[in-house]
Amino acid sequence: MNNREETEEEAVEGNRPGERARQELFRTLTDDRVASDSSLTELAEAAGWPLPLAVRAIVPATPGEAQQLAGVMEDALVGMFAGRPCLLVPSPDPEVRVPLEHLLRGRFAAVGHAVPLRDTASSLRWALRLAALTPSRPGLEARAVFVDDHLSTLLLLQDEPLAHALAARWLRPLADLTPRQSERLEVTLLAWLEGGGAPEAAKALSVHPQTVRYRMRQLEKLFGTGLRDPRTRFELEMALRSRRLMAQVRRQHSRVTRRTARVIQADFTPLVVGRMARVNGL
């Protein structure tokens, strides 16, 4: 373990009584090796943390926020996972998350799905993946995101190189088209697959049904009889959805990066002007 990791772990552990026991309990719960019920019970008693039936993981935007959240969540268990301070909170009812949303209001955090204690690491891994896919919005736009709301996205993008391979494999007939032609046919095909027909696709795309029928005839020439095969339609929908999701993630990150740059520029410009004014004797 390097010095930075040691410092972060020391900050997470703190000096409160029983905190070392709580850290050991966190490590045991998030370890892929299965601990015995008796050892978990002993650790929980030493940590003063009653074992719940289910937990959720919380991944804060910054390391310092882990302790801040622990200060307002008395039942939170804090520890290090994949080099980041994270939290575990009891989740007695997976369908009830309003209290958690209230506590996280105004800050970015990724919240894992509710899992039995034996699957704690899974909740943490998916929360970390969601945090990586979701750019942190500063200020008033900051909000918590829940794995429960993004299950299909996480499933399709759990391995981006594989998602790219899926799209390349099934969308190969569109490869020789211009980018504009390819995009137009992709959105039409996805709307047709999702809606089940030309009228539904036309409504989703805000175009005339005859436009959709014309494009579908083009697609039938490109894909042949495959569009009538259920397995091919399923694979095509996954490929199109994953490609659309990857594009959305790129756009979100790009927008947040530009917005952050503008904020930095706004904060930096007066300082530069002030320095120039002093140099010029003003």
Measured distance CA(231)–CA(66) in Å, rounded: 45
Confidence of residue 139 (pLDDT cuts 50, 70, 90): low
Q: Decide if pLDDT at 238 tops 90.
A: yes
Mind listing the pLDDT tens digit for each residue in 68-104? 888 888 889 999 999 999 999 999 887 888 888 888 8
Residues sharing a CB contact under 8 Å with residue 110, sequence separation 6 or more, in sequence order: 58, 59, 127, 128, 130, 131, 134, 144, 145, 147
Contacts of residue 92, Cβ cutoff 8 Å, sequence gap at least 6: 52, 53, 54
For residue 17, the model assigns a pLDDT of 55
Residue 138 one-letter amino acid = P
Lowest mean pLDDT among 100-109, 197-206, 230-239, 245-254: 245-254
Digit-coded pLDDT (tens) for 200-237: 999 999 999 999 999 999 999 999 988 989 999 999 99
Share of the chain above pLDDT 90, in %: 51
CA distance readout (Å), 244 to 86, 135, 191, 219, 239: 30, 17, 12, 18, 9
pLDDT, residue 268, reads: 44
